[in-house]
């Protein structure tokens, strides 16, 4: 398209729009192309962060035709609750309960996104706590065809998590024990070698479980993992760029 007659945000030379919407009761920021989108990616943030923290990080996806949806996790951003805090529950219970409730509501967020924007090819990116959600979607939500997990792990060995809903969820969906549920979803794990929050052995155990599952399914080419030297617990520019390159694989979208 030649673009509207008025000034808009640009990524490169591509005009796009930034919107706030409430989808399935969840406050979201939307970065969307002005042409009809060809795909939809959900980007889940980490603990104590919010949707605003990822605004602009994956905007280059818009150039490839993606509509980027940035939701607030439960207990974060516009969704804070007085009884859902690290002080009231303890840090690990808070983190996992927020992640669990965010994961369980993701199906409804996809329903609402498809109702508003159309039933587009759908992907998910999860960062740290958001990676917990992304692992779950890789296992349990096959409308999500591609998943990127950044700075997270799938061992989930946390005995200090005692809130019943979170404890049941961890046991039912622990990725290293249920990795066979992931294929045929395309899956990319990105991790920092210097990550002190989720040390590399946790990443390595997660990679081994998924790799075995994809090989047994005859789909080894649909799983990739990458570790980044001298990178801690954050999204590095290289991680961001590799995530976008993975999601923008040629021929992902059906012919238009």
Residue 199 CA to its chain's centroid (Å): 20
Confidence of residue 3 (pLDDT cuts 50, 70, 90): low
Q: Is the pLDDT reported for residue 13 higher than 70?
A: yes
Residue 146 pLDDT > 50: yes
Give me the pLDDT at residue 249, please: 76
Handedness of CA 11, 13, 19, 23 (dihedral sign): negative
Statement: residue 176 has pLDDT above 50: yes
DSSP alpha helix (H) spans, 129-221: 129-140, 164-173, 175-178, 200-216
Averaged pLDDT score across all residues of the chain: 94
Percent of the chain with pLDDT over 90: 90
Structural domain includes residue 213: yes
Q: pLDDT band at residue 184, thresholds of 50, 70 and 90?
A: very high
pLDDT tens digit sequence for 51-105: 999 999 999 999 999 999 999 999 999 999 999 999 999 999 999 999 999 999 9
| pLDDT number for residue 179 | 98
- CA-based nearest residue to 63, from 115, 105, 11: 11
In a domain, 254, yes or no: no
Q: Contact, 147 vs 188, CB < 8 A?
A: yes
Q: Are 214 and 173 in contact (CB under 8 A)?
A: no
Which CATH number is 104's domain given? 3.40.50.1820
Number of domains in the chain: 1
Is 204 a member of any domain?
yes
232 domain residue, yes or no = yes
Residues 19-23: contacts with CB under 8 Å, at least 24 apart: 21/116, 23/69, 23/71, 23/109, 23/112, 23/113, 23/116
pLDDT value of position 253? 42
Q: Is residue 252 part of a domain?
A: no
Residue 3 lies in a domain: no
Q: Is the pLDDT of residue 2 over 60?
A: no
| For residues 184-204, average pLDDT | 97
DSSP 8-state code for residue 34:
S
Determine if the peptide bond prior to 94 is cis (ω within 30°).
no
C-alpha distance from residue 55 to each of 19, 31, 79, 130 (Å): 11, 8, 17, 15
**What would the pLDDT profile of 84-97 be if each residue is shown by its tens digit?**
999 999 999 999 99
Say what percent of the chain tops pLDDT 70.
Answer: 95
Q: What pLDDT does 188 receive? A: 98
- CA end-to-end span of the chain: 15
Question: What is the residue range of 80's domain?
Answer: 10-247
Residue 43 within any structural domain of the chain: yes
Q: Is the pLDDT of residue 1 over 90?
A: no
Does residue 37 lie in a domain region?
yes
Predicted local confidence at residue 254, as pLDDT: 42
């Amino acid at each position: 398209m030649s673009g509207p007659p008025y000034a808009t945000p640009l990524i490169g030379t591509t005009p796009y729009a930034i919107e706030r919407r409430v989808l399935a009761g969840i406050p979201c920021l939307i970065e969307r192309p002005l042409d009809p989108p060809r795909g939809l990616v959900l980007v889940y943030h980490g603990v104590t962060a919010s949707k605003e923290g990822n605004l602009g990080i994956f905007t280059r996806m818009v150039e490839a035709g993606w509509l980027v949806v940035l939701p607030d996790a439960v207990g974060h951003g516009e969704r804070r609750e007085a009884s859902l805090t690290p002080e009231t529950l303890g840090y690990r219970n808070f983190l996992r309960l927020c992640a669990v409730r965010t994961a369980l509501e993701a199906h409804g967020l996809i329903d609402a996104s498809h109702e508003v924007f159309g039933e587009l090819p759908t992907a998910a990116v999860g960062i740290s706590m958001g990676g917990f959600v992304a692992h779950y979607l890789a296992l349990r939500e096959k409308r999500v065809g591609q998943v990127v997990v950044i700075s997270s792990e799938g061992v989930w060995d946390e005995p200090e998590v005692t809130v019943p809903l979170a404890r049941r969820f961890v046991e039912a969906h622990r990725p290293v024990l249920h990795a066979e549920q992931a294929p045929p979803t395309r899956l990319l794990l990105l991790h920092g070698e210097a990550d002190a929050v989720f040390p590399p052995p946790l990443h390595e155990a997660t990679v081994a479980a998924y790799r075995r599952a994809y090989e047994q399914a005859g789909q080894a080419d649909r799983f990739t993992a990458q570790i980044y030297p001298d990178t801690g617990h954050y999204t590095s520019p290289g991680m961001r760029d590799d995530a976008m390159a993975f999601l923008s694989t040629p021929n992902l979208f059906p012919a238009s």
